[in-house]
Amino acid sequence: MRFTFTKEQDEFRQEIRDFLKAELEAGAFSVDIAELVGEPSQEFSRKLAQKGWIGLTWPKQYGGQGRSYVEKLILIEELMKVKAPIGYHFLADRQVGPALTSFGSDWQKEFFLPSIVRADEGMQFCLLFSEPNAGSDLAAVSAKAVRDGDYYIINGQKVWTTGGHLADYGWLLARTNLDSSVRGHLSCSEFILDMKSPGVTVRPLINMAGTHSFNKVFLDDVKIHKKYLVGQENEGFKQIMAQMDYERAGIERLMQNYPLYEHLISYVKKMDKDSRGFYSWVRDQVAQLEIEYNIGRLLCYYTAWVVDQGKKPTSQAALTKAFCTQYEQRLNDVATKVMGPISQIRQGVKWSPFGGDLASCYLWAPSYTLQGGSVEVLKNIVALRGLGLPRK
């Protein structure tokens, strides 16, 4: 049992910090607190790629570094602290790579992995999982993939596609067994879709924070060559569940608004103590946030360690994400109450706290406990998979 980092890990963290400090000082990016990973910047991603910080845990033969998930977590933690613009490679790094490593064909691995690791042009991914009628119940996807010679013909609609308007490729889940008596869990497959394919229409879906992040994606007779089928036909659901572990295990769900937390603490350190009752409440709330943040961080490192031990972290990752996202929501709520009525003012004027980021973060907050599996779905996983409670 050791709750400290090794010398090598400390050095790695310091190297990342030094790099980010230099980038910030050079004005390479500005900190955007509200969004998960900020504006995609291929230029910035390439700089990380040159450091070997994309595909850190992937096998060396595909350009990865073969390093541990704990180290990956150190990297993401430092990137999230300053909200570095990692949107260009983030999804590919987090999910596409591990999925291809586990289920991809040799051709797919050789074609995509080294290219993602280098942050090459044309390697930004989006996820085409959810549909209007398949949200928490992902197995209910109805987008169809019908085999036609060497191709699959795709028809259907996807939604909540983050970055769909910018992505070069989409990671698609579609039904390949159209027999309605077969459960969705056994009838879906995964494909990699070139987003420039004819028949792909991407329309913006503006979120309640006023940001264009999500999209609706319409697929009309889209042709995908069979070499873009990932893994086995009709095994897609199982594969995707394994991928979701990686989506859920990350520390980004704890740190989406991290700089806001730093702003809040430094404000509280200097705040007026005359209103004693209020100050006492603020201290209690902030200390509670600090405890939850620290626990969330331990959960993330523990989950990464579990993965490093070669174990599947399904229930652990679900528990971690549920806990962390609830912390993030509380952070926003507490921060607005500490700052008071000025919290509602968005950016552009001197009166808005933390440059208007507080108002934006509060507007983003409802999404935290929904994306990547709602808290309720995650609790189901903990109960059924973790505790072995009976199904209905």
Long-range Cβ contacts of 14-21 (<8 Å, 24+ apart): 16/53, 16/74, 16/75, 16/78, 16/79, 17/78, 19/51, 20/78, 20/79, 20/82, 20/84
Instruction: Find, among 358, 321, 318, the residue nearest to 336 by Cα.
Output: 358
Query: Using CB under 8 A as the criterion, what x/- string covers residues 274-293 for binding another protein?
Result: x-x--xx--xx-xxx-xx--
Cβ closer to another protein: 174 or 282?
Answer: 282
Distance CA 318, CA 380 (A): 9
Region from 201-209, 215-223, 266-274, 364-372 binding another protein, contact rule CB under 8 A: 266-274
Region from 33-41, 264-272, 337-345, 359-367 binding another protein, contact rule CB under 8 A: 264-272
Q: Decide if residue 390 touches another protein (CB under 8 A).
A: yes
Q: Decide if residue 208 touches another protein (CB under 8 A).
A: no
Chosen residue from 265, 311, 347, 366 binding another protein by CB under 8 A:
265
The DSSP 8-state label assigned to residue 131 in this structure reads: B
- Rounded CA Rg of the chain: 21
Interactions with another protein, residue window 311-340 (CB under 8 A): 316, 319, 322-323
Q: Smallest gap, in angstroms, from Cβ of residue 317 to another protein?
A: 12
Chosen residue from 1, 26, 208, 349 binding another protein by CB under 8 A:
1
Contact 375, 382 (CB under 8 A): no
The DSSP 8-state label assigned to residue 335 in this structure reads: H
Cβ closer to another protein: 2 or 7?
Answer: 2
Chosen residue from 143, 299, 335, 339 binding another protein by CB under 8 A:
299
* Helices assigned H by DSSP within 256-356: 258-270, 276-308, 314-339
Q: Decide if residue 14 touches another protein (CB under 8 A).
A: no
Residue 182 φ/ψ region, left for φ over 0, alpha for ψ in the -120 to 50 degree band, beta for the rest = beta
Please give the distance of CA 239 from its chain centroid, rounded to a whole number: 17
Q: Smallest gap, in angstroms, from Cβ of residue 9 to another protein?
A: 8
Chosen residue from 26, 180, 210, 269 binding another protein by CB under 8 A:
269
Type of residue at 151: Y
Q: Smallest gap, in angstroms, from Cβ of residue 86 to another protein?
A: 23
User: Binders of another protein: how many residues, by CB under 8 A?
Assistant: 49
Tell me the CA distances in angstroms from 283 to 188, 236, 376, one per residue in order. Answer: 50, 48, 30
Interactions with another protein, residue window 112-151 (CB under 8 A): none
H/E stretch holding 193? strand 188-194
Which residue carries 């308007």 as its tokens?
A: 165
Q: Smallest gap, in angstroms, from Cβ of residue 26 to another protein?
A: 30
Q: Smallest gap, in angstroms, from Cβ of residue 208 to another protein?
A: 26
Interactions with another protein, residue window 68-87 (CB under 8 A): 70
Q: Decide if residue 258 touches another protein (CB under 8 A).
A: no
Tell me the CA distances in angstroms from 24 to 12, 89, 230, one per residue in order. Answer: 18, 19, 39
* Interface with another protein (CB under 8 A): 1-5, 9, 70, 265, 268-269, 273-274, 276, 279-280, 283-284, 286-288, 290-291, 294-295, 298-299, 301-302, 304-306, 316, 319, 322-323, 376, 378-380, 382-384, 386-392
